[in-house]
Each structure stands twice: as C-alpha cells, then as structure tokens.
Structure 1
Amino acid sequence: MTGDDFGHLAYLLVILVFVGFWVFGSQRQRVSKSIQHLAIWGLIFLGAIAAVGLWDDIRSTVQPVQTVMQDENRIELPRAPDGHFHATLVINGQSVKFIVDTGASDMVLSKQDATRAGLDPDNLPYFGRAMTANGEVKTAFVRLDEVRFGSFTDRNVAASVNGGEMSGSLLGMSYLNRFAQITIAGNKLILTR
C-alpha cells in the first residue's frame, strides 16, 4: 500500500466513526437496532474497501484487451486472470487463440485449431517428437500460408500440430523470434518489431 492508500483508508475510517456515532446517538432507545445498523454500515464499508483495493484486478478481468500500437510497431497483451498471456492470431483467415509460451520451441496448434486453420490433422505425418510436462507427444510439421497478428502479416510460417490431446494452442519461440523485443512490464507482455 502506498501513502495515498493509507490516506484514503484513514479518511474512510473517519467517515465510519462519524456514521457510528450518529447511529448510536440517534437511536439510543433502540440499542439492538443501532447494532444492526452499525453492522450493515460496517459491511458496506468493508465492501467499499474491497472494491477500491481490487479495482485494477476487476477492470483487467472484465476487459482484458489485446492492443495493437501500429505507429510504434508493437502489440500489448494483458495478463489474464489465469496468470498467462493470451493472444489471438488469424491463421489462414480464421481466428485462433493462443497461450504465449516462451518455454515452447515452436508454434504448436491443437488438432481443433489446425482443423479451424484449414489443415487436416488426421492425415498429417506425425514424425516429430516433443517433450511436454505430460511426457512425450508426437508432432507433425506444417507450413501456415498466412499468419496475422495485429497489423503484422507473415507468410509461409513454420508450425507444429500436436498429435495428442491439447486444451489450446501455444505461441512459442519459433514465432516470437520474429519480434525484436519481448518485454514483461507489470501485467502486460509487450512485443515490438
């Protein structure tokens, strides 16, 4: 908490004390009602403190937005509530959601996303191997005709299709290396070309 936060908290405590004195002073005859009102005001006060303290988290959860800064040649990705950075790319004309994974060597498509991008995952040669947290999986090397990420368009992009079950696609270093700079600042991942 910063000095401003302590100042706001002190201000709210002063208001709570005045409200409490007013409730007890105006309701002397009915002490049980006064205690009930005080409890209600206390809950309202705690709710206000929680809302103020969590406002940035609430705002970023409700509206996490992938931002493209065309004049600066950069893309900003907000950190999602799950702690990861998610990106939406257009592959062969179809939107595909990725988890940005700097620990992954390749851009890896799930079978479902490969199908969405116009590939036939059931007829791909799964000759490659990749080590994952769940063990070794078979992969198929593919070339994507067109990949658009914000205002950036790349053609003939190398990627892999995961032969196993995968909940989503991974945006790994084979694609991220196209950016000159990858920066994490606060709750944003900034990709600059």
Structure 2
Amino acid sequence: MTGDDFGRLIYLVLLATVIAGYFLLSHRRRLGQVAQQAAIWGLIFIGVIAGFGLWSDIRNDVAPRQTVFADENRIEVPRAPDGHYYMTLRINDVPIRFVVDTGATDVVLTRDDAEKVGIDPQSLQFFGEAHTANGAVRTAPVRLDVVELGPVTDRNLRAFVNSGEMRESLLGMAYLNRFERIEVVRDRMILTR
C-alpha cells in the first residue's frame, strides 16, 4: 500500500466515523431501530459484494456463452437452461443471436434481425413457404454477404426472412452442414470445421 493509498484510507475511515457519529447522535432515542436498519443495509452491502465476487464462478450457469477455439477452428456452445443451444454469429459485422435448430432446413431471420443486418423487410417478396410447429409461414429468400462465427467465415450464404412473428432467428442445417463435425457431448454442442 502506497502512502497515497494509506492517506485515502485514513480519510475514508474518518469520514465514515463522522457520518456514523452524527447519525447515532441525531437518532439516539431510537438506537434499536437504527441498529436494525444499519444491519439490514450492511447485509445488503455484503450480499452485493459477494455476488460481484462470485460472478465469475456462476456466470456460465446464469448466462452460458459460446467458446471459440480459433487455432482449432472449433466452437463449443453450452446448452442454455431452457435446453436449447444459442449461437451468436456476426452477419455483415452485426452480432445476431440464433437458436440452433437441427430440425430446420435453412437459416431463417426474423424481420427485426434482417433489418439489423441491412435487409429492408418491406422490399422483400414473401413467395416461399415454410412449415413450422405453428403452421405454414411465408418466407422471402435473401443472401447474406458475410457470416462469421469465430474464425469461420462464409460468404454469400442463402437464408430466408420469415414474414410471421418469431422470437429469435433460426440456425438450421443449411449452415450447420458446412462444418466437418457436429457433436453433442453432455451439455455442449461442438462444431469443428
């Protein structure tokens, strides 16, 4: 600890003592209630510090994320708490979150995601049809200029924009089949190219 750090510590201790002393003197008739409130705020403060300190340990359980091993052209995707696999791809340099759907044939973008990557949904012609769990929906074919997943880059990828409501874009087999190997090991999907 340097001299400046030690001086700051002394200043903070004196400041805290003055504030606590003033607070206790001004509320001396209700010291029991003041002590109870101070204990509650102290526990809240300790809880916040503990949560912040433990975040690195619990982060993967709360918000699992894909891991890229660039030197091996391998991507590991953890299974989310809802049982699905989610991947974030950069399309035209814009990060888009997909739900991996091995039952889907194609890559299907929501209208919002299409707009984010520079496709105007109003100018599309929805003449295709896809059969989903919610019934038939109209689709419009598009080409994605650049699709990046870690070290893997694909160009001019065929995809579709859904005319209906979808919560998230779907990453189907048209993209997944570009990988040499797809395996599911326990709670991780591993893609290798």
* TM-score, structure 2 as length reference: 0.69
Runs of 4+ in 1 over 6 A off after TM superposition: none
* Residue-by-residue CA offset, 1:154-188 (whole Å, 9 max, x unaligned): 11010000010110100001111110111000100
What is the deviation of 1:150?
0.9
- State the SS of the aligned residue for 1:71: helix
1:160 alignment counterpart: 160
Instruction: Please show how residues 94-173 of structure 1 align to structure 2 within 5 Å.
Output: 94-173=94-173
Query: Using the alignment, how far apart are the partners of 1:191 and 1:84 within structure 2?
Result: 15
* Residue-by-residue CA offset, 1:98-128 (whole Å, 9 max, x unaligned): 0000000000000000000100111101110
What is the deviation of 1:59?
5.5
Query: Using the alignment, how far apart are the partners of 1:94 and 1:73 within structure 2?
Result: 21
1:183 alignment counterpart: 183
**Which runs of 5 or more residues in structure 1 are unaligned?**
1-57
What is the deviation of 1:60?
3.2
Query: Using the alignment, how far apart are the partners of 1:105 and 1:89 within structure 2?
Result: 18
CA RMSD of the aligned region, Å? 1.4
What is the deviation of 1:73?
1.4
What letter corresponds to residue 88 of structure 2 in structure 1?
A: T
Q: Percent identity, please.
A: 59
* Residue-by-residue CA offset, 1:24-65 (whole Å, 9 max, x unaligned): xxxxxxxxxxxxxxxxxxxxxxxxxxxxxxxxxx56322412
Q: How many residues align?
A: 137
Cα 1:91–1:59 change in 2 (3 A) is closer
Instruction: Please show how residues 31-70 of structure 1 align to structure 2 within 5 Å.
Output: 60-70=60-70
Query: Using the alignment, how far apart are the partners of 2:150 and 2:60 within structure 1?
Result: 20
What letter corresponds to residue 127 of structure 1 in structure 2?
A: F
What letter corresponds to residue 114 of structure 1 in structure 2?
A: A
Query: Using the alignment, how far apart are the partners of 2:188 and 2:86 within structure 1?
Result: 11
* Residue-by-residue CA offset, 1:73-105 (whole Å, 9 max, x unaligned): 110000001110000000011110000000000
